[in-house]
Amino acid sequence: KEILSNGSNCAVMRRDRLPSTRMNESVNLWSILRSNIGKDLSKVAMPVQLNEPLNTLQRLCEEVEYCHLLDTAANTHDPHMRMVYIAAFAVSAYACSFTRAGGKPFNPILGETYECLRQDKGFRFIAEQVSHHPPVSACHCESKNYTFWQDVRWKNKFWGKSMEIVPMGVTHLELPGFGDRYEWSKVTSCIHNILSGQRWIEHYGEMSIKHSTTTGDVSHCKVTFLKSRSGALNANEVEGMVTDSNGRVIHSLFGKWNEALYLGKPPSATCIWRANPMPEDHEQYYGFTQFAIELNELEEGLKALLPLTDTRFRPDQRLLEEGDIAGAEEQKERIEVLQRERRRVLQENNMTHSPRFFKRAEDDSWVSNGTYWDLRKDPGFSKLEIPVLW
Ligand code: PIF
């Protein structure tokens, strides 16, 4: 186990296992879906048993697991090679989903926050649930080499045997060293066999990564996530093309979003990114990667530093992590009632909720208001008035 500092100047050992395995699901999802036909499923409270012990804010943090690709990009002078690393990073965000079709993340409570400070990886990440209906999660991740931010909202389409998740929102990245800005959007995800059989996840569609600098457009990368033909060997394949400002192809990429991405053409291709090996017994532990296992860990030194709105303090998610399904369900319902109560009070007073750490940008996206880490340092969240969410 690696020994790391968590920002409180105390060394921590990161856990390599969740406290409890996943219990067998005994939910009749069909009866829930059947009684909600035509309804927006994000407005239906689902049984906690369908969840994994992580929430959408933490799922956004998982997208930066392979941030070393951004560090490499930030140290690469050739703009087209920089784009290759950015494309690999954008693809790598999907790797963890391969083993995760079995459960859905917790839907964060409005105002719930999550921080992840990884000095070993050189970044600090914050996220906040900025809207409840529709659910919108915003995040901001910074390091000396890059700034990464996005807000995510999903549209669900239930097709009977499968469910399509269509993401909305733009992912942004800046490399201050070069004055580079990149923007892309996510592809469609589909959970197959939603009601019976082995669930599996597929991603398909085109991701267009636009690169711009203050001097104008420099390059572009189109990454295609291929739909698998049934029984074919092409599952999870991706193909990419980096083009210059004249549309000329400079680099080609190929690989699988769950395994690796290569630059060039076989057989003389170079591996740009490879997914980390999975922990032993991961099937019993929600299919979590090592990075995912660490996300909800509440180390001793961290407790006093976090705002009480941090996901790590959310009791239903913690109880599920510990294997107490009945306790988790009871808490989930209690917390949802509290949230409805707060919503009612706001409505009665003709007020709307304002996120604490994010603000609307001109293009309607959510960006950090830059206050989180300053407040954490001085006066410290324990000295501030923090809303009680649970
Ligand atoms: C509750 O969220 P759930 C509902 O929003 C409910 O309307 C609300 O009450 P209110 C509760 O307070 C909420 O807790 C429902 C929904 C949430 C998402 C978006 O957690 C991410 O009970 C979806 O869940 C990603 O879930 C899915 O939406 C990736 O979290 C797999 O729609 C869904 C998911 C559909 C089920 C998929 C099952 C896969 C195994 O009174 O305030 O309205």
Q: Which protein residue's CA is at the shortest distance from atom 36 of ligand 1?
A: 104
Q: Which protein residue's CA is at the shortest distance from atom 10 of ligand 1?
A: 43
pLDDT reading at 1 higher than 90: no
Q: Which protein residue's CA is at the shortest distance from atom 1 of ligand 1?
A: 45
pLDDT for residue 231: 58
Find out whether the beta carbon of 269 lies less than 6 Å from any atom of ligand 1. no
Find out whether the beta carbon of 170 lies less than 6 Å from any atom of ligand 1. no
Find out whether the beta carbon of 337 lies less than 6 Å from any atom of ligand 1. no
Atom of ligand 1 nearest to the CA of 41: 32
Lowest mean pLDDT among 10-19, 286-295, 315-324: 10-19
Find out whether the beta carbon of 195 lies less than 6 Å from any atom of ligand 1. no
Average pLDDT over residues 322-342: 97
CATH of 3-383, one of 2.60.120.620, 1.20.120.520, 2.40.160.120, 2.120.10.70: 2.40.160.120
Kindly report, residue by residue over 193-235, the tens digit of the pLDDT: 988 888 999 999 999 999 998 777 678 999 999 998 765 667 9
Mutate-to-test residue for ligand 1 from 25, 41, 46, highest number of ligand atoms within 8 A of CB: 46
ipTM of model = 0.93
pLDDT for residue 37: 78
Average pLDDT over residues 133-143: 97
Distance 45 CA to ligand 1 centre (A): 6
Kindly report, residue by residue over 260-307, the tens digit of the pLDDT: 999 999 889 999 999 999 999 999 999 999 999 999 999 888 999 999
Which residue type sits at 159? W
Distance 337 CA to ligand 1 centre (A): 15
Q: Which protein residue's CA is at the shortest distance from atom 13 of ligand 1?
A: 45
Find out whether the beta carbon of 172 lies less than 6 Å from any atom of ligand 1. no
pLDDT for residue 72: 98
Kindly report, residue by residue over 90-136, the tens digit of the pLDDT: 999 999 999 998 889 999 999 999 999 999 999 999 999 999 999 99
The three-state DSSP-derived secondary structure of the chain is: CCEEECCCCCEEECCCCCCCCCCCCCCCHHHHHHCCCCCCHHHCCCCHHHEEEEEHHHHHHHCCCCCHHHHHHHCCCCHHHHHHHHHHHHHHCCHHHHHCCCCEEECCCCCCEEEEEECCCCEEEEEEEEECCCCEEEEEEECCCCEEEEEEEEEEEECCCCEEEEEECCEEEEECCCCEEEEECCCEEEEECCCCCCCEEEEEEEEEEEEEECCEEEEEEEEEECCCCCCCCCCCEEEEEEEECCCCEEEEEEEECCCEEEECCCCCCEEEEECCCCCCCHHHHCCCCHHHHHHCCCCHHHHCCCCCCEHHHCHHHHHHHCCCHHHHHHHHHHHHHHHHHHHHHHHHCCCCCCCCCEEECCCCCEEECCCHHHHHHCCCHHHCCCCCCC
pLDDT for residue 319: 98
Kindly report, residue by residue over 144-164, the tens digit of the pLDDT: 999 999 999 999 888 788 899
Mutate-to-test residue for ligand 1 from 22, 44, 56, highest number of ligand atoms within 8 A of CB: 44
Distance 43 CA to ligand 1 centre (A): 7
Find out whether the beta carbon of 166 lies less than 6 Å from any atom of ligand 1. no
Find the farthest-apart pair of alpha carbons in the chain and give their distance in angstroms, rounded: 66
Q: Which protein residue's CA is at the shortest distance from atom 31 of ligand 1?
A: 104
Q: Could you give the angle at the alpha carbon of 171 between the alpha carbons of 85 and 137, nearest 5°? A: 135
Average pLDDT over residues 361-369: 95
Spell out the domain ranges in the chain. 3-383
Find out whether the beta carbon of 107 lies less than 6 Å from any atom of ligand 1. yes
